[in-house]
Structure 1
Amino acid sequence: MDQTFTHTTVLLQPAVDHLMGPLAGCYVDATFGRGGHTRELLNRLGPEAQVIAFDRDPQAIQVAQGLGDARLSLRHESFAHMAELPPASVDGLLMDLGVSSPQIDDPERGFSFRFDGPLDMRMDTTRGQTVAQWLETAGIDDIAEVIRDYGEERFAVQIAKAIAARRQARGPISSTAELAELVAGAVKTREPGKDPATRTFQAFRIFINAELEELEQALTASLRILKPGGKLVVISFHSLEDRIVKQFIRAQSTEVYDRRVPFAPAKALPLKDLGRVKPSEAEVSANPRARSAVMRVAQRTEQG
């Protein structure tokens, strides 16, 4: 277990403050990570409460098992499986998206270009294809599409061609250092203060874990499992995630009038948008990784 790697939970108090409802309620931490939000929830909740924690990472599940709290139920699976929970059974649902600090800082996980390690990037190391395995056979067009769509990288085609050329000349790329060096050679201009490999690593991680597709499934599931009055709290760390969350909440909380039927009764909306929260200056100063975080909050309505 990665005990040497630390993690500072972003927006810890604001997230739990917005999430809290009945002290004996049922809450879902859809991304346990290293348990910061779950621990705070358990500290505040009463003895009859229940917290259901999801995580694909077996190391995270091992940490969760170590808490030894009878109120905590663990699911070693994607949060898309929240749809299997009973309808209208949850008082609060928290999703803290992205990758945790221990995952980034552990070279063996392959998430970061700052350390040399195997090119893996799977959230769940017990199943699925690694990035290295995918790159062995992926075509230039497929690689470019992933880098462009999930990394918003304007040099996506150049990077894809460089990967294919390297593969043909010397065999598949197997390490993070190899990939980072190759991307640096293909990216012609660099954003100030940002490593040229940042967008490509993000893109491959999102793709190999189907993160955006599973986020959409989880958001849809939230409408089914939240009780009336229940809270949805989602913390995002990049624009692709936040755009999906923002558009979902807007679509489920905004009146749409049909001009063809101007006097029709308003449609009941399933969510009420409670706004967004950014980390304070003090939090960002103490934890620079919080800088890009955006938390959006919504509440399940009685009628929707």
Structure 2
Amino acid sequence: KKDKKEKKTPKRSSSPSSSGDETKSSKKAKTSAAPADVDDASSVRVRITGLTKTANAATLSTFLSLAKDDVVVGLWGTSGRGPKPPGGHAFVDNVSAKDANALIKKFDGASVDGETIKVMVDDGSAAEAEAARTPKAPASASRPPLFGGGASLTNAPMFNGSTPGEVRADDWACGACGCSNFARRTSCFRCAAPKSAVTSAGPKTAVNTAAARAPAQGSIQEGYEVFLKYLPHSASEEEVTNYFADCGAIVGQARLLRDQLSGQSKGAGFVTFVNEQGRMEALKRDGSRFGGRNVSVTVAKKSTFGVRATEQAYGTHTPAMLAETIAGLVAPDRSGVYVDGTFGRGGHSRGILAALSPEGRLHAFDMDPEAIKVGRELEKEDARFTIHHAPFGQMSQVLKPLGIEPSGVFLDLGISSPQFDDATRGFRPEQDGPLDLRFDVERGMPASEYLRSVSRDELRRVIHEYGETTDPSAARRITDAIVIAREAGMLPSTTKDFAALVARAKGKEYQMMHPAKLTFQALRIVLNQEFDEMRRGMFGAFEIMPEHGRLGILTWKHSECAIVVDFYRDYEVVRDDFPLWQWAQSAYGEKCSKKLERKWGMHMDDAQRPSESETRANSRSRSATLHILRKRHAVRISDLERFAYKIKGWGKIAEPAPPPAVTFKYDI
């Protein structure tokens, strides 16, 4: 054992220091110097390590007395990926062995930016280390083609007995784009072309054309639409329609986007085809010459919110949800008397008149003098129509003396498009005009005068309650800006200047709308007492309608919907499946019948929203909600709750609030 131990123990040198120095120097020579068998004239690569993050090619090349282009410095954070070395390293390419040895001898161990660098001949270890850090894909894992076919990732069968990328006999290839589809699909999942367009089975190479990229859109009823750009500004709808007429059957005619004031074409528009084939043919004309310009033809797509904005002629109004209004309000009794509380420019009134029988009658109300002028003309055209210059909140005072009990009342809340588009009314922050915001310019005070007299606390409440409901900080900052401008005598009196002041105070807007839009909305609501007028109108309609009378309300904002629901809750009648009613009937049947008298109440149908086809044709209708309330004689839920709460000891239920007092005085 002793002999074996002595054999295993290495003999130490008598001069360890000299031996260690010799070992270090040999290692340094091995890693730093150029190989001995390399010719002095041959090129080698010099590697420099130990650099700081601030090192760059310019400073390093100056330090090494080399040209800047000869030095490649690595970027920190790249981990050596790509053509550049990792951070902290640098390379000098195409250096002769003689010059490399000179660099190593002169700069190895030198200090750069307070750090000691190492200079050596690169033997490929850096590239090998980087290759080791980069995972390699298995040799058998070849990437499958994008749209079916080709080799699969693995030969293992899937749950359905097939392998990935396998093309079955009943799979089909799209004739438009060549994409492979499963047999169960009736249209191409890539370009939405129908299965009837199949040319052959099996996958094909996708075609990079506008037709191949066309997404699924519309139906046979809605049509297939293309969007046109770079049209000649002098081109008319008829000329554009004729240009695409030979592509296929067109729905109506081309629709050009025009300036609302001047009527000048904006050089863009839409053409809708009856079938997909027509749209495909039109897409082939992308880039073709028309009227001296290269026209762009693309598939008409929907916007971020699902609805593409549409253009309306200046001063016109497209009634929202007219078909639903006629069906829910007029269809049950076409010979009755009806009320349109918000005449506007007569869009809904004309639709109601068209649905009425010769015995039917329609009374309309409005505050806007311009609307009254339009109504007077309609009175001359149709003897069944009568216009009243008064707010709809006073319909009871107007119609009761006439002995009229309307079968239905319709209220389209908010602002009409002609008012919104008229710059002289001051409703839009994008336009420039007087800061008015009144429906009836002959009554009340304009917004510019209101802002000069309202207190800071009241103004902040108005902006927060009627406009910036979700952002109290914005309401406060806007109020502060208005008050400061008022104190300095610099309060704007025009819409554009006032909107700019509000925008500066509010800052960034997370919604895709003008930053001052909600402030304008709040001022409009308070100046015209829209919510109070809304409550008066609903109460007045409920008062004068007979049993089974119908109240149709078209709301545009959540706050308006909330007011409708609050009114309905006060007069809601019990339903057979109402839990509290079932409990009262089972526990106090006879007593319940004696205590709870039947009163006039309301029943509300399910709220309705505009159809997709309507929102595409009239984008302004996308926010509309139609509520239909029906008058009934039954037990109110509020009375049932008072009866049950008294027995249970749960407290008291308040009586319905009376309608707000009338402020604007009209001659009735």
For residue 71 of structure 1, the aligned residue among 380, 384, 395 is: 384
User: Where do residues 221-232 of structure 1 align in structure 2 (5 Å cutoff)?
Assistant: 221-232=540-551
For residue 394 of structure 2, the aligned residue among 60, 81, 106 is: 81
Runs of 5+ in structure 1 lacking a partner? none
- What is aligned with 2:448? 132
For residue 300 of structure 1, the aligned residue among 631, 648, 655 is: 631
- What is aligned with 1:176? 495
- What is aligned with 1:51? 362
Q: CA separation in 2, counterparts of 1:237 and 1:117?
A: 25
Runs of 5+ in structure 2 lacking a partner? 1-260, 262-312, 636-668
Q: SS in structure 1 opposite 2:383? A: coil
For residue 272 of structure 1, the aligned residue among 595, 603, 621 is: 603
For residue 32 of structure 1, the aligned residue among 339, 343, 346 is: 343
Q: SS in structure 1 opposite 2:548? A: strand
2:456 maps to a residue whose letter is: I
- Post-superposition offset of 1:15: 0.8
2:429 maps to a residue whose letter is: F
Q: CA separation in 2, counterparts of 1:55 and 1:144?
A: 30
- Please, what TM-score do these two structures have when normalized by structure 1? 0.93
Q: Does the alignment pair 1:144 with 2:455? A: no
- Post-superposition offset of 1:143: 1.0
Q: How far does the alpha carbon of each residue in 1:138-172 deviate from its partner, in whole angstroms, 9 at most, with x for none?
A: 12111111101111242111111101111222333
2:391 maps to a residue whose letter is: S
Q: CA separation in 1, counterparts of 2:522 and 2:323?
A: 30
Aligned-residue identity in percent = 35
- Post-superposition offset of 1:184: 0.6
Q: CA separation in 2, counterparts of 1:250 and 1:18?
A: 21
Q: Mean Cα displacement is larger for which, 27-36 or 263-272?
A: 263-272
Q: How far does the alpha carbon of each residue in 1:52-96 deviate from its partner, in whole angstroms, 9 at most, with x for none?
A: 100000111111111122111111111110121227711010000
For residue 558 of structure 2, the aligned residue among 224, 227, 239 is: 239
For residue 528 of structure 2, the aligned residue among 209, 220, 226 is: 209
- Post-superposition offset of 1:230: 1.2
Q: CA separation in 2, counterparts of 1:123 and 1:287?
A: 23
- What is aligned with 2:63? none
1:79 maps to a residue whose letter is: F
- Post-superposition offset of 1:275: 1.5
- Post-superposition offset of 1:13: 1.1
- Post-superposition offset of 1:254: 4.3
- Please, what TM-score do these two structures have when normalized by structure 2? 0.44
Q: CA separation in 2, counterparts of 1:71 and 1:143?
A: 44
Q: Mean Cα displacement is larger for which, 77-86 or 253-262?
A: 253-262
- What is aligned with 1:101? 417
Contact 2:342 2:365 in 1 (8 A): yes
For residue 18 of structure 1, the aligned residue among 322, 328, 342 is: 328
Q: Mean Cα displacement is larger for which, 100-109 or 250-259?
A: 250-259
Contact 2:326 2:355 in 1 (8 A): no
- What is aligned with 2:509? 190
Number of residues of Structure 1 aligned to a counterpart in Structure 2: 303
Q: SS in structure 2 opposite 1:243? A: helix
Q: CA separation in 1, counterparts of 2:389 and 2:492?
A: 30
2:333 maps to a residue whose letter is: P
Q: SS in structure 2 opposite 1:275? A: coil
1:216 maps to a residue whose letter is: R
Q: How far does the alpha carbon of each residue in 1:80-123 deviate from its partner, in whole angstroms, 9 at most, with x for none?
A: 10121227711010000000111011000001112011000110
1:93 maps to a residue whose letter is: V
- Post-superposition offset of 1:251: 3.0
2:605 maps to a residue whose letter is: L
Q: How far does the alpha carbon of each residue in 1:213-248 deviate from its partner, in whole angstroms, 9 at most, with x for none?
A: 111111111211111111110001111111101222
Contact 1:29 1:94 in 2 (8 A): yes
Q: CA separation in 1, counterparts of 2:371 and 2:318?
A: 14
User: Where do residues 247-262 of structure 1 align in structure 2 (5 Å cutoff)?
Assistant: 247-255=566-574, 257=580
- What is aligned with 1:219? 538
- Post-superposition offset of 1:272: 1.4
Displaced runs of 4+ in structure 1, greater than 6 A? 258-261
Q: How far does the alpha carbon of each residue in 1:181-234 deviate from its partner, in whole angstroms, 9 at most, with x for none?
A: 011111133123122111101100000000001111111112111111111100
Q: Does the alignment pair 1:157 with 2:473? A: no
Contact 1:28 1:93 in 2 (8 A): yes
Q: CA separation in 1, counterparts of 2:553 and 2:431?
A: 29
For residue 353 of structure 2, the aligned residue among 42, 47, 51 is: 42
Q: SS in structure 1 opposite 2:502? A: helix
- Post-superposition offset of 1:46: 1.9
Q: Does the alignment pair 1:290 with 2:627? A: no
1:236 maps to a residue whose letter is: T
Q: SS in structure 1 opposite 2:387? A: strand
Contact 1:275 1:298 in 2 (8 A): no
Q: How far does the alpha carbon of each residue in 1:13-70 deviate from its partner, in whole angstroms, 9 at most, with x for none?
A: 1112111132221100000011111101111212222111000001111111111221
1:71 maps to a residue whose letter is: R
Residues 4 and 273 (structure 1), Cα distance of their counterparts in 2 relative to 1, 3 Å cut: closer
Q: CA separation in 1, counterparts of 2:479 and 2:420?
A: 24
Residues 184 and 203 (structure 1), Cα distance of their counterparts in 2 relative to 1, 3 Å cut: same
- Post-superposition offset of 1:302: 4.1
Q: CA separation in 1, counterparts of 2:326 and 2:441?
A: 29
Contact 2:573 2:634 in 1 (8 A): no
Q: Give the structure with higher Rg (CA).
A: 2
Cα-Cα RMSD:
2.1
